[in-house]
Amino acid sequence: MTDSGQTKQTRRPMSPRRKRYWTALGIAAVLGGILGAWLQVDQPGTTTAGLALVANGPLTANFAIGASILWLVGMVVSMAIYHRSIDDHEERAWLWACTAGWYVIMFAAPVWWVLHRASLAPPADTMLLFVASLIVNGVVWLWLKYR
């Protein structure tokens, strides 16, 4: 017999699949943090007051090479772990989110390019298109995963 006020809550250990899931997200977050901090430190004359990620100034060759390698290797590793750990529901949410993100690029890039060719818009900004697609991707993924 146990006292109702004395209930002990036990936590179940994380499953291997859940550990892989959080490891993949952790790797991606840590690499993003490293790249962001390195970018801030590496800027020769920061006039953007902490917004080096959205600036279009020159980068040092060491940063460009190192960040490119870190991004590619980190993404391959974290995505491989992530895809090994997700279930059918999350895979479906991920696929639709990626499709929505791709649609942002597919619709916006040609329109922007044509408008620029007619001198009606500035040159297309690849990073802005990438960030827009990530935002749409994230919103769709969150909506489908947690609704």
Domain edges within the chain: 16-86, 87-147
The token pair that represents 69 in the structure block: 């390698």
The pLDDT tens digits for 9-63 are 778 888 888 888 888 888 888 988 888 888 878 876 655 555 555 566 778 888 8
Measured between alpha carbons, how far is residue 51 from residues 54, 72, 142 in Å?
A: 6, 23, 26
69-90 pLDDT tens trace: 988 998 898 888 888 888 899 8
Q: pTM of the entire structure?
A: 0.70
